[in-house]
Amino acid sequence: MYKALRYLGWPVLCGLLVAALIMQHYPQWLGLPAQPPLFEAAQAPSPGRQQGPVSYADAASRAAPAVVSLRSTKAAKPGKAGDTANDRKSPAKPVEELSLGSAVLMSHDGYLLTNNHVTLDAESIVVALADGRQTLAKLIGNDPATDLAVLKIDLPNLPAISVGDSTAIRIGDVVLAIGNPFGVGQTVTMGIISATGRNQLGLNTYEDFIQTDAAINLGNSGGALVDANGNLIGINTAILSGGSQGIGFAIPIKLAMEVMRSIIQHGQVIRGWLGVAVEVITPELIKTYGLKVDQGIVVTDIDPDGPAHKAGLRAGDVLVKLAGQPIKDGRLAMNQIARKQPGDSIPIEVRRQDKTLQLKVTVGLRPLMEKAR
């Protein structure tokens, strides 16, 4: 009897284990309701069929012919006298200053976009095309407020870059920076869009930069930032430090095109202007001006001959609403005014001590001086 039970024990035990496993994992085999799992693990989505390109050679070859190198010669500066007696007797020879940069061909008839700082004070600007041709460029106009300049060359069979939509870009999109770094020749670097809408960097009066980690170095200024299809989305402008640190900035092509059209049509950029300097409200400003509000922008300085002063604005006033919309960012508010045409009327809600004022300001034309408010 004992031996029989001993021999039967293992088969019975195995049967019980199998039954337990079936009840746990396959209850439907026994006609039992299925038990819900204790938790549902998130499933990774299956990869789509469309994969990113292995190479961006097509994008580079599409855009590169329209990116040119610039060599600007600036006014000669007096040289330093030598240390020897003979050198001190002879006058110092003037030294010409050479500036290198890049530009983008925007049309087949020869209009180019570049940076203002590349062409500033240049006596001559030589353009070198990717196909080896060289010619002198004419400066059509510049805009120090956005650091843009428009040039013109006269050559047959000029390429022109395809313009993309800088308002549709997203953080993480692949981009290529094309230019002439350090004068070594046309170079393409790759990165992604790191951020959009960068401002308050102290680089330009009007700032709305695309930030990228594509390598941008000296000589890339004025070159092209293109998307993965080779479409122009920005004009490379600045880097955060003296060398490429993975933080570069480009002017969105939408803004650059607006500036270019205005320069070609009017010889300058037509911008609205109020004649005020403003700052976002801070605890220090609240204390200085005795402000009763904590949102808006404070008028810290005002042009006595400007539109704002004529409309009744005074230093210390707080602009609370512009065209019916609450003001949270002074730079964005000034950009909104800049887009207005001279002669337009714009309603402004103002807080002056304990009073709320409703004023209408007739927008003026922003003066050409770089420091105009």
Catalytic residue among 117, 143, 166, 227: 117
Catalytic (active site) residue 309: no
Distance, CA of 19 to CA of 337 (rounded, Å): 78
Single out the residue of 49, 300, 263, 226 nearest to residue 146, CA to CA. 263
Sorted by where each starts, the structural domains of the chain and their CATH numbers stand as 56-77+94-268 (2.40.10.120), 272-365 (2.30.42.10)
Q: Is 131 a catalytic residue?
A: no
Which DSSP category does 203 fall into?
S
Spot the catalytic one: 221, 227, 244, 303.
Answer: 221
**Which residue in the block uniquely carries the two structure tokens 């909104």?**
336
25 is catalytic: no
> Distance between CA atoms of 163 and 226, rounded to whole angstroms?
9
pTM for this structure?
A: 0.74
Dihedral pair phi/psi, residue 58, rounded to 5°: -65, -40
Q: Pick the catalytic residue: 99, 143, 147, 208? A: 147
Please give the chain's pLDDT, 373 residues, in tens.
545 545 556 665 666 666 666 666 665 555 555 555 544 544 545 544 455 667 899 999 999 999 999 999 987 666 555 444 455 555 556 667 888 999 999 999 999 999 999 999 899 999 999 999 999 999 999 999 899 999 999 999 999 999 999 999 999 999 999 999 888 889 999 999 999 988 777 677 777 889 999 988 888 999 999 999 999 999 999 776 655 567 899 999 999 999 999 999 999 898 888 998 888 888 887 777 777 777 788 888 999 999 999 999 998 889 999 988 888 777 778 888 888 889 999 999 998 888 899 999 999 988 875 433 3
